[in-house]
Amino acid sequence: MIIRTPRSLLHFLIDSVLTALAWFAFLYLLANGVVSIVKGDRQGTEEISTLRHLLPSLGTLLVYFLVAVCIALVLYAWAKYNAKRFGGLDRRASPPALSREDLAASFGISVEQLDQLRRSYVSVIHHAPDGHIVGIETRVS
């Protein structure tokens, strides 16, 4: 899933440049580390075979991989659980449309006043101190 938020071109360029620099630095350090391991550039140590030197790193990578697999399995199980539990529900459905009578009743006005408000271009609605509508002035033209 990609989450997109509205942002200016300047923010996009700053994010892109910083991301590119971070990836470049990561790849540079990774490549230098692998090259130094393969060449055997170790200071103050006796010569060790390349495979024996890489084994601790491979063990660490294996642990990372297993953790990632476990997290993926937990997320997959959670998604399946939610799909089974809430699969047939549409929680984002819009509520059913109100009838004219229900809409007028929710505002405390008559259906004729509601129709008058719908036809008018300019409406002035007067409210009582408690918030109820006490008067409506409309202009049709």
**Entry pTM:** 0.35
Mean of pLDDT over the chain? 84
Per-residue pLDDT at 121: 86
Q: What is the mean pLDDT of residues 68-91?
A: 90
pLDDT value of position 39? 77
For the residues of 29-68, what is the DSSP string, one character each?
A: HHHHHHHHHHHT--TTS----HHHHHHHHHHHHHHHHHHH
- Lowest-confidence range among 20-24, 30-34, 45-49, 107-111? 45-49
Distance CA 70, CA 5 (A): 30
